[in-house]
């Protein structure tokens, strides 16, 4: 899938639409999810134009990858969820449930999150 430069996160990165920013550096931007599914629900996106985790791990530079992953840790620490625990998640593609085609990692925390996913029906 080629990158759609008009996806909503690309527009947030360009400052065309607002976000509730919690952190920014040269590698990444972090902001509150507009429809939170936990008391802490943040999104961390790389500044580069990557559709998803697959695109990022294939095409990003070592510096971009290191910078992005480290930033996810910084954001979680600053959100205060390190002690109680948290979950990171990145949806990819149709079956992964990805809605916005710019790589993003969700950070969930602030309550017990339960099982990762529902058990499959056998």
Residues near ligand AMP (CB under 6 A): 8, 19, 31, 33-35, 43, 91, 97-100
Q: Out of 27, 41, 102, 104, which one is annotated catalytic?
A: 104
Q: Are 64 and 28 contacting, i.e. CB atoms less than 8 angstroms apart? A: no
**Cβ at position 33, least distance to ligand AMP in Å:** 5
106 in catalytic set? no
Q: Please compute, for residue 76, the number of CA atoms within 13 A of its CA located in the half-sphere on the CB side.
A: 20
Strands in 21-24's sheet, in edge-to-edge order, are: 21-24, 28-32, 40-46, 105-109, 86-89
Nearer to ligand AMP, 65 or 89 (CB): 89
**Cβ at position 20, least distance to ligand AMP in Å:** 7
What are the residue numbers of the active site? Answer: 104
């Amino acid at each position: 899938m080629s990158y759609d430069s008009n996806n909503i996160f690309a527009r947030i990165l360009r400052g065309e639409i607002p976000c509730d920013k919690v952190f920014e550096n040269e590698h990444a931007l972090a902001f509150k999810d507009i429809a939170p599914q936990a008391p802490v629900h943040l999104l961390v996106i790389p500044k580069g134009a990557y559709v998803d985790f697959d695109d990022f791990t294939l095409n990003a530079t070592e510096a971009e990858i290191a910078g992005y992953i480290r930033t996810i840790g910084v954001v979680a620490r600053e959100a205060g969820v390190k002690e109680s625990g948290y979950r990171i998640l990145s949806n990819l593609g149709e079956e992964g449930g990805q809605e916005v085609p710019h790589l993003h990692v969700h950070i969930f925390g602030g309550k017990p999150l339960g099982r990762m996913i529902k058990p499959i029906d056998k």
